[in-house]
Amino acid sequence: MDPRTRLWLVICAGVLAVTLERPAALLAFAATCAAPMLWLRPPWAWWRRGLIATATILWSTTLSQGLFYAEQPRVAWAVLGPLTLWREGLSWGLAQSLRFVGTSLAGLTLALSTPPDRMYAALLRLRVPFGLALMASTALRFVPEVGRELWVVRRARAGRGRPVWRRSPWAWLRLEVQLLGPVVARAWRRAQNLAESLDARGFDPLAPRAVRRPLRFSALDIGIIAASGALTLGVAGARILYVLYTSDTWYHPALRPLYGFVRGWL
């Protein structure tokens, strides 16, 4: 698949994440964004960590919104002593967390499936300035390395003794922040070495360059772009018409089935 097609799919995912509101629709959206991971086949350890991180995001966001939801009207879903869980807050928190999970999975899939040189060539073909294209492709190149370094740091910390889950929540949070220190230091050192290497070789960002393997759209790429674009435009257009209807800006009787579909499913 052409990397420009993958960029287009990520853009469509961002538009759909903003457009959809129903938790069921956002759940289908997040599952669709996670489907390419089956093709990439990451190690089982990464699957386990990803599932734990996803469950943590869903649980924490949903619970916090359920407790502190202040909009009206609201209906109590459960009362736990002095705490009240609001049904509308739970729904809102679940929707927000699914948006975050879906867009994160789309970006992670792009980072893992696209080589940096192909991403660089795609950005240049899209008329992105050379400096921005170089920074984006370089950042993409370092994503897997940062992930591996984080895994090494956590393994080294686990080998030192007491498990994390036997600590207090505050100590666990402080330890998690401390684990990021070596990773950030290595990333800073890597960026500094790259900058010094470019400067020592007389790098000129304004010099003309040619791509060794030019990008060309295949019939599959064109079909994917057309289908995803039509779906995204259809959903966004339906949402806009529904917003015009609910805000008393514009209404057409023939669109009542569309209004009902958007209210019930999107």
Q: Quick check: 119 pLDDT over 80? A: yes
Average pLDDT over residues 65-69: 85
* Biggest CA-to-CA distance, the chain: 69
Position 167 scores a pLDDT of 65
Extract the tokens encoding 191: 């960026």
Average pLDDT over residues 175-187: 83
- Which tens digits make up the pLDDT trace of 16-59? 999 999 999 999 999 999 888 888 777 777 788 788 888 888 88
Average pLDDT score over residue span 80-108:
88
Task: Compute the distance between CA of residue 1 and CA of residue 62 in angstroms, rounded to an integer.
Answer: 36
The confidence score (pLDDT) of residue 239 equals 94
CB neighbour class for 154 (10 Å; exposed up to 12, middle 13-18, buried from 19): middle
pLDDT in tens, 193-240: 888 887 887 777 666 666 677 788 889 999 999 999 999 999 999 999
**Residue 187 · residue 142 · CB < 8 Å:** yes
- CA distances to 47, 170, 204 from 265, rounded to whole Å, are 30, 40, 52
Q: Supply the DSSP string of 70-138, one letter for each residue.
A: --SS--EEEEETTEEEEHHHHHHHHHHHHHHHHHHHHHHHHHHHS-HHHHHHHHHHTT--HHHHHHHHH
